[in-house]
C-alpha cells in the first residue's frame, strides 16, 4: 500500500492562489512549482490501511479516515499511535466518518456522523454528541478566541 500526503506550510503569505494547469504555457506542472519542501513519511504497517477517505495533518500528528476501520492517528514520523473511537452504530461509536476535524490545541477529534458531531478526546475516548438541527455536509474546526 502506498499513500502520498503532501503539504506546505512555510509561507507567511495568507493569500490564496489558484493553480490551473490549463493556463501553463507548456501545459505541465511540476511538484516543485507548487511546493517548497517535500517530505516522504512511510506509515507504520502494524494496522492494515485500505482506502483512505480523508486526512488531516496537525503539528504533531497525521489523522486518516480509513474505510472499514475508522479514524487512525500517526505521529509525524509515521508511527501508529491510536485509533480514535470505534466504527459502529452503538453509543459513542460513529458509522459515517468521512468528514472529521481536529482541535489542534487540545487534540479533540470532531466526527460528523449523520447530523451529529461526535467529540472524542485526544486519547481517542468518546466525550459527547453535538446534535445539529440542519443537514451539514462537512466539518471544519476553527479555534476562535472570543
- How many other C-beta atoms lie within 10 A of the C-beta of residue 6? 11
Domain-wise residue ranges, the chain: 42-131
Q: Rounded distance, CA 65 to CA 87, Å? A: 11
Residue with cell 476535524: 101
pLDDT at 26: 65
Query: What is the reported pTM?
Result: 0.73
Sign of CA dihedral 100, 101, 103, 106: positive
Q: Rounded distance, CA 85 to CA 94, Å? A: 8
Q: Rounded distance, CA 109 to CA 126, Å? A: 9
Sign of CA dihedral 94, 116, 57, 82: negative
pLDDT at 1: 44
Residue ranges in the chain modelled with pLDDT below 70: 1-19, 21-29, 143-146
- Architecture of 42-131 per CATH? Beta Barrel (2.40)
Amino acid at each position: 500500500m502506498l499513500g502520498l500526503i503532501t503539504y506546505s506550510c512555510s509561507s507567511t503569505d495568507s493569500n490564496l492562489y489558484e493553480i490551473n494547469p490549463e493556463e501553463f504555457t507548456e501545459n505541465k506542472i511540476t511538484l516543485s512549482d507548487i511546493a517548497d519542501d517535500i517530505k516522504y513519511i512511510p506509515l507504520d504497517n502494524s494496522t492494515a490501511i485500505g482506502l483512505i477517505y480523508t486526512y488531516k495533518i496537525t503539528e504533531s500528528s497525521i489523522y486518516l479516515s480509513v474505510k472499514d476501520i475508522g479514524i487512525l492517528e500517526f505521529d509525524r514520523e509515521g508511527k501508529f499511535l491510536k485509533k480514535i473511537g470505534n466504527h459502529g452504530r452503538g453509543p459513542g461509536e460513529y458509522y459515517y466518518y468521512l468528514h472529521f476535524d481536529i482541535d489542534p490545541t487540545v487534540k479533540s477529534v470532531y466526527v460528523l456522523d449523520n447530523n451529529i458531531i461526535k467529540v472524542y478526546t485526544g486519547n481517542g475516548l468518546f466525550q459527547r454528541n453535538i446534535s445539529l438541527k440542519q443537514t451539514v455536509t462537512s466539518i471544519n474546526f476553527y479555534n476562535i478566541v472570543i
